[in-house]
Amino acid sequence: MRKFFKGLLYELGKNVNDETLDERQLIDQVRKFLQMKRYFIVIDDIWNVSIWHMIRCALPDNICGYIIITTTRIFKVAEQVGGAYKMKPLCLDSSRKLLYRRIFGNDEKYKCPDEHLAEVSDRILKKCAGVPLAIITIASLLANRGRNKMEWYEVCNSIGTGLEYGLDIENMRKILAYSYYDLPSHLRTCLLYLSVFPEDYIIAKFRLIWMWIAEGFVQHEVQGKGLYEIGECYFNELINKS
Beta bridge partners of 39: 66
pLDDT at residue 163, rounded to an integer: 53
Res 162: pLDDT: 54
DSSP three-state, residue 158 = helix
Tell me the Ramachandran region of residue 13: left when phi exceeds 0, alpha when psi lies from -120 to 50, beta otherwise: left
- Do 64 and 7 sit in the same domain of this protein? yes
Q: Are both 98 and 176 inside the same structural domain?
A: yes
Give the total number of structural domains in the chain: 3
Residue 19 lies in a domain: yes
Q: Is 167 a residue whose pLDDT tops 80?
A: no
Expressed as residue numbers, the domain containing 104 is 92-181
Give the residue from 88, 89, 110 showing the smallest Cα distance to 99.
Answer: 110
pTM of the complete model: 0.61
Residue 87 within a domain:
no
| For residues 18-25, average pLDDT | 81
Q: Exposure pattern of 100-128 as b/e (b: 16+ CB <10 Å)?
A: bebbbeeeeeeebeeeebeebbeebbbbb
CATH number at residue 50: 3.40.50.300
Taking the C-alpha atoms of residue 29 and residue 213, their distance in angstroms, rounded to an integer, is 43
End position of a domain, from candidates 81, 109, 128: 81
H-helix segments, the chain: 2-11, 23-34, 49-58, 75-81, 92-104, 118-128, 132-143, 149-158, 169-181, 185-193, 205-215, 227-241
Among 81, 115, 133, the domain boundary falls at: 81
* Residue 8 domain-assigned (yes or no): yes
Among 38-52, 143-157, 212-226, top mean pLDDT goes to 38-52
Domain contains 86: no
Q: Is the dihedral of CA 84, 98, 185, 197 positive or negative?
A: negative
Is there a domain that residue 47 lies in? Answer: yes
Instruction: Say if residue 42's pLDDT is above 80.
Output: yes
Find the mean pLDDT for residues 202-210: 91
Paired with 41 in beta bridges are 68
pLDDT tens digits along 125-134: 888 888 888 8
pLDDT 10s digits, 72-105? 877 788 888 877 888 888 898 899 889 888 888 7
CB-neighbour burial class of residue 47 (10 A; exposed 0-12, middle 13-18, buried 19+): exposed
Burial of 26 (C-beta count, 10 Å sphere; 0-12/13-18/19+): buried
